Amino acid sequence: MTELEPKPGSRPAPRASRAGRFASLAERQQLACLALTGRREALEAHLKSLRDSENDAVGRYHLALALAQEARVRDALGILRSLITETPANAQARRLAYRLLIHEVECAARAGEWPTVSQLIAETMDMSPEEVDPATELNRFKHVVPLAHLRAGRRSQAAQAWEEQLRANPSDFRLLHNLALLHYWWARGLDGGSENPKAPMLAAIAYWTALVHSDAFWNNWSQNRQEAWGFRLPSGELEALRSSFLEEHLDLWLQSRVDHAKRHKNQTLAQT
């Protein structure tokens, strides 16, 4: 059964209505043909007559497709972003935007433009159609994915991504450091807010404690300081720094937090 044929048991559509549907479908086919044959200028000219019509969005999608075929990816993405903003459920626009964003991520990664990669990955995850799991395809850039989550304000997803990487490589002290910093500033940012900071606070304590006991981290830290300062920190001073680190950077913060809560008679926060 074709789209123009009536369903069994339904009343035949009025002739004028059927003619209108046929004209609309024919116009869509024309738009697709113009895009696929690379006749972008003719497509743009035809689009001027489609403003406020039901095929306007279809025409803009095909214009984005034509631009992508000319390697004008950023122009194509500009149109697709507009379409998705107007109609978030536009699966066709999302699929094309997703493929183009993956291409842009790969180009930025080859150029070593990691801040751009992080930004594009965040957008790729937001733009992906429902049937796609972007994490599978973006696994090649797994070291950037948590940063993309942070850029988008998704701290729990960033923590989850780094934790998965840490389970796969428990000796990677850089991941420990990332998680310690993430949860510390997460908890600090929740001070006095409506969200309970207990979970990120406990995680911060756990990760910083693990980091203090990581010889690999401190050896690396000492080597970096030597390169920056021009001399190596004496082992006695390094051990003193490690032994006092938790007290100076966590205990004092927690105590000041309790004192602040008590002054403001916030017993719930003081007991957290």
Q: d(Cα 134, Cα 99) in Å, to the nearest integer?
A: 10
pLDDT, tens digit, 9 for 90 and up, residues 199-226: 888 999 999 999 999 999 998 988 888 8
Q: What is the C-alpha separation between 144 and 140, in angstroms, rounded? A: 9
Count other C-beta atoms under 10 Å from residue 90's C-beta: 18
> 169-194 b/e with 16+ CB inside 10 Å = b?
eeeebebbbbbbebbbebbeebeeee
Q: Of 260 and 208, which is predicted with more confidence?
A: 208
Q: Is 90 exceeded by the pLDDT of residue 260?
A: no
Local structure of 1: helix, strand or coil = coil
Q: Report the pLDDT value the prediction gives residue 84, as an integer from 0 to 100.
A: 94
**At residue 197, does pLDDT exceed 60?**
yes
Query: Over pLDDT 90: what percentage of the chain?
Result: 26
pLDDT of residue 1: 40
How far apart (Å, rounded) are the C-alpha atoms in residues 104 and 61?
19
Query: How many Cβ atoms from other residues are within 10 Å of residue 79's Cβ?
Result: 20
pLDDT in tens, 24-52: 676 777 777 777 777 788 777 777 777 66
Q: ∠ at Cα 191 (163, 176), nearest 5°?
A: 20
Residue 8 scores a pLDDT above 60: no
Q: What is the pTM of this model?
A: 0.57
Across the chain, what does the average pLDDT equal? 81
Note whether 79 and 87 are within 8 A (CB): no
User: d(Cα 232, Cα 229) in Å, to the nearest integer?
Assistant: 8
The residue-averaged pLDDT of 62-88 equals 91
Residue 268, pLDDT above cutoff 60? no
Q: Which two tokens stand for residue 245?
A: 């680190």
Q: Do residues 134 and 111 make contact, with C-beta atoms less than 8 angstroms apart?
A: no
Q: Please answer whether residues 69 and 37 qualify as being in contact, where contact means their C-beta atoms are separated by less than 8 angstroms.
A: no
